Chains A and B, each alone.
Chain A
Amino acid sequence: MLEADNLECVRGERRLFAGVGFRLEGGELLYLQGRNGAGKTSLLRMLIGLLPPEAGEIRWRGVPIRQAGDDFRAELCYLGHLNAIKEELTPLENLLAAARLADEELSEDEVLDALEQVGLAGREDLACKYLSQGQKRRVALARLVKERRPLWVLDEPFVALDVAAVDWLAGLISAHLQRGGLAVMTTHQAVAIPAGTVRELRLS
């Protein structure tokens, strides 16, 4: 469903990688690995269409993502290393606003449910600036709980999480794969994902 052909990445004057390609089907997870500065985040940004590749092509359901445009983005969920939450808003407001801006139907009950799952019950009405770094990350991750879009692209999702949260997130990703979803992620920690096929791609 997601194919990348012969991708090349140039940042500034440096060629980070060239000739990178892969195919990913429903139920499969792709681990991106590589040193710092190998271009993992750049590759992710290419896959979500924010960074045009220097050469090569990315296709979603056989259509180049540039052409697919909104149709592609409607099936994409991206979690960057920035949390994309507003400090002034409460976790509840943040998640509701994010859902509305992403054109998703999400009720308040569903959001509260998701916040409970990430262990933020009782903090729904506290502005995010009063939360700790790890708690803010959980607010960002809570978006994934009700997320049913087929392609997840996650940049270092396990960073700043404790052991229990890592297990919970791994379970969430497995469930997504079992539903037939796809996931691409970068990570430094080796986390076992119980279900689905795991592939690896090493950028050198």
Chain B
Amino acid sequence: MTDRFNIYRYAAPSAFYPLAGAMVPWFAAAAVLFGLAGLWLGMLVAPTDFQQGEGYRIIFIHVPASWMSMFIYLVMAFWAAIGLAFNTRLSGMMAQALAPTGALMAFLSLWTGALWGKPMWGTWWVWDARLTSELILLFLYIGYMALVAAIDDPRRADKAGGLLLLVGVVNIPIIYFSVKWWNTLHQGASVSLTKSPSMAATMLWGMLLMALCFWMYSIAVALIRVRTIMLERERNTDWVRETLEGDGK
């Protein structure tokens, strides 16, 4: 099994552990660099938005956080599908390592969204499709983490959590469209979330750089977390014993 495909080789925790360890500093450094560049462009160079004044600068964290919160959920669902289909040990660990970061991103997206909404629309919260779906996404993250934490046997936890992730992936679009439809019928909030189309090039670059920063950051944190989970789960195997007798790297 181990030598048949490369992917199987790196799907084995003993091979992935040192690889992940070697990658962490690179992703962390990339996150810092992209972050500095993005902040410089976004906070110092980018011009004032003609509609929203300086308040729009929240976009430089709000949009990347929202993107990451959704993207991380999709990645977790991808790992869940792999894990359920091929029964690889690594998949469940990856999903679990990503979940807290995804939940934090969803929280950040809601937090910055509220702080953006207050000055722009005069309210902290609207029951708009995007906001509501983001809130539900946060619930799905919390539900996943709670379910995995409640099951003692890690294999069972991986499988049950994976199934929940897949069910969630099917449901997120349904929830999004149902809330959207509900919202347009209610027409309660006279607020449109569509952004002004004339986005300056510097703003766009700032946002993309910040998105890259969040991306690298999430990978780095998830890799550290997955390494911890690996040690914990495989503590009775030879490779963990050898690793522990070394310096844990």
Residues of A at the B interface (CB closer than 8 Å) are: 11-13
Contact = CB atoms under 8 A, between A and B. Distances in A.
B3 interface: no
Contacts of B154: 12
B235 A13 contact: yes
A15 to B, nearest CB: 8
Contacts of B233: 13
B152 A12 contact: yes
7 contacts: A11-B153, A12-B152, A12-B153, A12-B154, A13-B233, A13-B235, A13-B236
A13 B156 CA distance: 12
Contacts of A11: 153
Nearest to A14: B236
A150 to B, nearest CB: 30
Interface residues of B, number: 6
A21 B189 CA distance: 68
Interface string B139-159: 000000000000011100000
Nearest to B155: A10
A199 B233 CA distance: 37
Interface string B229-249: 000010110000000000000
A60 B121 CA distance: 68
A12 B151 CA distance: 11
A14 to B, nearest CB: 8
Contacts of A12: 152-154
A136 B156 CA distance: 32
A74 to B, nearest CB: 26
A12 B235 CA distance: 12
A50 to B, nearest CB: 13
B222 to A, nearest CB: 23
A13 B153 CA distance: 8
Nearest to B156: A12
B134 to A, nearest CB: 37
Contacts of B152: 12
B217 to A, nearest CB: 32
Contacts of A13: 233, 235-236
A7 B119 CA distance: 65
B96 to A, nearest CB: 16
Interface in B106-163: 152-154
A151 to B, nearest CB: 26
Closest 5 interchain pairs by CB? A12-B153, A13-B236, A12-B152, A13-B235, A11-B153
Nearest to A15: B236
B84 to A, nearest CB: 12
Nearest to A54: B155
A188 to B, nearest CB: 26
Contacts of B236: 13
A197 B40 CA distance: 82
B88 to A, nearest CB: 14
B91 to A, nearest CB: 16
A145 to B, nearest CB: 36
B197 to A, nearest CB: 54
A53 to B, nearest CB: 12
Interface in B194-242: 233, 235-236
A54 to B, nearest CB: 9
B177 to A, nearest CB: 37
A12 B233 CA distance: 9
Nearest to B236: A13
Nearest to A11: B153
Nearest to B153: A12
A11 B236 CA distance: 13
